[in-house]
Structure formats: structure tokens, C-alpha cells
Amino acid sequence: MIRTTTLSFAALLLAVLLAAVSCTKHGFNSRLTIAAIEGVEGEALKQAAVDYEKFTGVHIDVVQFPYANLFEKELLDLNSRTGAYDVIMMDDPWFPRFAESAFLTNMQPLLQKHGKDGPDPDFIASSIAVCRHPYQTGSLYALPYVGNSQLFFYRKDLFAKNNLKPPATWDDVLAAAKTIQEKEKGPDGGKMYGYVMRAAQGNAAVADFMPIFWAFGAEMFDAQGKPSVNSPEGIAALQFMLELGKYTPPGYVGFNASEVSAHLLNGTAAMSINWPAWISAFSDPAKSKVIGKIEFTTLPSARKAGQAEIGNWLIAIPRSSQNSDLAISFLLWATNSEQMKRSAQRGNPPTRKSLFQDADLVKQFPAYPAQLRSLETSRPRPRTSRWNEIENVFGIYLSKANSGELSPADAMNQANAEIDKILQRAGR
């Protein structure tokens, strides 16, 4: 009696197991799971997935995470090789980490299966370069989906009023900031600031500083790959940042993108570096007190030509995915001209040159010519798998210098030493 119970229980268990196995073997083959970012970038991919399902019958699950969680979810999954995701969306600074750990599928052979020798030449070169490992020269491990790069925002009405020419150099920016802050008032008669930047530790401070750092001729690593942020150029760049800080609203060492945009939208600051995602807000009457008054341009120069930081969203196939053939078909479809145009209409800058020049899109997004120039001349954050750690440390010291806790030279020397420690640990 007892034995029959045990036996029948074992049989039941076996049946359940078999059912589960057969399910993974057949039932799930025509389905894909995508890890995507929340917000407009991920939403566009989700819409593409819905359309793709209608055409092909392939069922696609899109799982969306906020920015802070997406990286850790993906890294945990890729590290343990569960194969939970067939397609992942990633911010381009994460790419070296994923590619170096051999977590991603090399796309070259998959493209060949589709009769292509490489990515479409219509993709912008700087966007394809961040999809290759090593940078620019290596194999292709991702496709660029959203073509963000920084832009310089300024109040053209105030520039015209004060006879200022459009800011071409960082010295122009400083001079204009000074003039505007002295002569202008905010919309409610309050204070008007010449500039606004974010210097909250981490990503924020570093993103707003890199264009100044590069324009001053500084480099994060020298030719031998040793950190060199404390070079004379690097220290001069930080000194310049503090100078600009005098024309930035107080408390900017705690600012993130939302505070910067709030000041611009309220008309209490005249210039800033920002990302294209904010452009549409300036023509929204519900949010903006400066409709039609903001101009978008490429980043100012100093000793070297101004360069924006690239911040593309990439899509890739984890090596642990069981459905790479299906995944590549979807990726090629989602990044084709027609689909990317739809994504662009939803508010995501494209990564194809032809779309930046597309008449309908330029009409909808007048900043496209400036965005294209910025993206084509943009440069990536240093390509290292330790970027998160380096950015964190660098940001802390930039923040400390901006709050007056450390002098620019001390901040850069200490940052250099800490970055060196990180590299040494990585090399061990």
C-alpha cells in the first residue's frame, strides 16, 4: 500500500519533469525574452516587439527595468548563464564589461547567415565603433539602437539681446555666463544664472565634465594605459569647471539631469550640456517657460575641437541565449530603416545617417542636424571593463573639488591614485 503510494508519487514527479523538459524543447522555441530599459528607449523596442509578433507570430516578452537595476539584472543573468534573456538592451559604457567577459554573441557569423558581410554602412561610424570589441577595430557584438550624444543648450534670445555670438569655445561660454548673470533676471524677477551643470558624484559629474576635460586636451589614460587625469591639462580643465560653477545655481554638487533641466525649463539658467531626450520638453507648454528660446548645438572647443560624450543604447544577444537565430532576425528587423524611423518618431534619436537627414523627421525634430554633427564627432567614455568603478571614484573627487573640499590639483592627484588602484586590482 505504502509502496504503491511512493511509486505513484515518483511517477507523477517524472511526468512533471518530462513535461517541463519537452516544454523548453519545443513549446518555447518561437519565443524571445528581452531585457529593456524603462522609459522612451525601452518603450520603442517594446512596440517593435508587438509589431514583430503580428508579422511573424514569434512571441516576444519584454521585461523592463529602471536604469539603476538593468545593469545588475543583466550582469547577474549573464554571469550565471541562465539564458533567461535572448536580447538585452544596454548603455554603451557597460559594453566593454559584457564583451570582455565573453558574455555576448559575436554577430558577424549571424550576419553572414543573413547574407550580410557586416553592419549596414548607413549606421553612423561612431555608433558602430562602440558595438565592437576591442573598440572600433574588433568583432561586432551589438547593434546601435538609440543614437544619443550630448548637446550644448543655450538661450538664443538672451544671446541675441546681449550681442553675444553663439558659444564656439569654452571661453565664450564663460564670458557669456558672466554677462547674462550680471545683466539678466529670472522670469519672476529672481536671480538668473549664466550656466547650469550637474556635479552630483558619479555619472552626473563625470558626464558634464568630460567634454571640458577633452577640449582642454586632457586624457584619462596615457599611451601606456596609466591614468593621467592629474596632467596639467586635466587640472586646468577642473579649474575651469569651478570657474563655471560660480555661474551655476548653488547646490549644483547635488544636481542630476532633472535639476539641470528644471532650471532651463523655468528660465532661471541660460546654458548647459544635456542629452537629446530633454529636447522635446522645451516645446511643451505644460513644462516650459522658454518655448522657442533654446538653441541646440555641438559642444564648445578649447585647445582641441569640442567633442560630445556618446551615450548610445545598444542591443545584443547574450551567449547563453538558446534562440540566437531568432534573436538576430528580430534585431535586424528592429534596426532596419523603416522600424528605426518609427522609433525616432516616438522620440529616440536614430543611429542611421539617412534618418537624421530624413525630411519628415527633421521637420519633427529641428535639432537633428546639430545632433548628427554631435554624434558623428562624439567620443565614448574610456573603454574599460572597470568603467563603473572608475567613474564612481572620478565623480567623487570632481564633486569634492566643486564643493570646495579639495583644491583642483589635490582632487585630481587623489583621483589619479584611486583610479590607479582600481586598474592594479583589475590587472592582478
Phi-psi region of 17 (alpha: psi -120 to 50; beta: other; left: phi over 0): alpha
Could you say which of 108, 136, 280, 403 contacts another protein (CB under 8 A)?
403
Site for another protein in 30-69 (CB under 8 A): none
Binding of another protein by 267 (CB under 8 A): no
Residue pair 282/294 in contact by the 8 Å Cβ criterion: yes
Residue pair 35/88 in contact by the 8 Å Cβ criterion: yes
Cell of 322: 538558446
Shortest approach of another protein to residue 199 CB, angstroms?
8
Binding of another protein by 202 (CB under 8 A): yes
For β-strands 151-155 and 87-91, DSSP reports them as: unpaired
Site for another protein in 3-22 (CB under 8 A): 3, 6
Shortest approach of another protein to residue 69 CB, angstroms?
9
Per DSSP (E only), the strands in 236-395 are 271-274, 294-297, 313-316
Site for another protein in 73-132 (CB under 8 A): 75, 79, 97
Could you say which of 57, 189, 250, 285 contacts another protein (CB under 8 A)?
250
Could you say which of 27, 66, 138, 251 contacts another protein (CB under 8 A)?
251
Could you say which of 64, 105, 181, 201 contacts another protein (CB under 8 A)?
201
Cell of 23: 516544454
H-assigned helices in 228-356 = 232-245, 257-265, 324-334, 337-345, 353-356
Nearer to another protein (CB atom), residue 92 or residue 358: 92
Nearer to another protein (CB atom), residue 60 or residue 265: 265
Could you say which of 38, 61, 72, 420 contacts another protein (CB under 8 A)?
72
Binding of another protein by 413 (CB under 8 A): no
Beta bridge partners of 32: 60
Site for another protein in 323-362 (CB under 8 A): none
Q: Write out the H or E segment, with its range, that includes residue 62.
A: strand 59-65
| Range in contact with another protein (rule: CB under 8 A) among 156-164, 220-228, 343-351, 393-401 | 393-401
Residues contacting 104, CB < 8 A, separation 6+:
98, 141, 142, 316, 317, 318, 319
Residue pair 312/144 in contact by the 8 Å Cβ criterion: yes
Is the backbone peptide bond immediately before 408 cis, with ω within 30 degrees of 0? no
Nearer to another protein (CB atom), residue 251 or residue 292: 251
Question: Binding residues for another protein, how many (CB under 8 A)?
Answer: 36
C-alpha separations of 169 from 60, 297, 302 in Å: 48, 12, 6
Binding of another protein by 71 (CB under 8 A): yes
Nearer to another protein (CB atom), residue 298 or residue 399: 399
Binding of another protein by 254 (CB under 8 A): yes
Nearer to another protein (CB atom), residue 289 or residue 341: 289
- Residue 313 sits at φ, ψ, to 5 deg, of -95, 125
Binding of another protein by 399 (CB under 8 A): yes
Beta bridge partners of 25: none
Nearer to another protein (CB atom), residue 25 or residue 191: 191
Beta bridge partners of 88: 35, 316
Shortest approach of another protein to residue 294 CB, angstroms?
19
Shortest approach of another protein to residue 71 CB, angstroms?
7
CA–CA separation, 390 and 225 (whole Å): 14
Site residues (vs another protein, CB under 8 A): 2-3, 6, 71-72, 75, 79, 97, 199-202, 249-255, 259, 262-263, 268, 386, 388-389, 392, 396, 399-400, 402-403, 405, 418, 425, 428
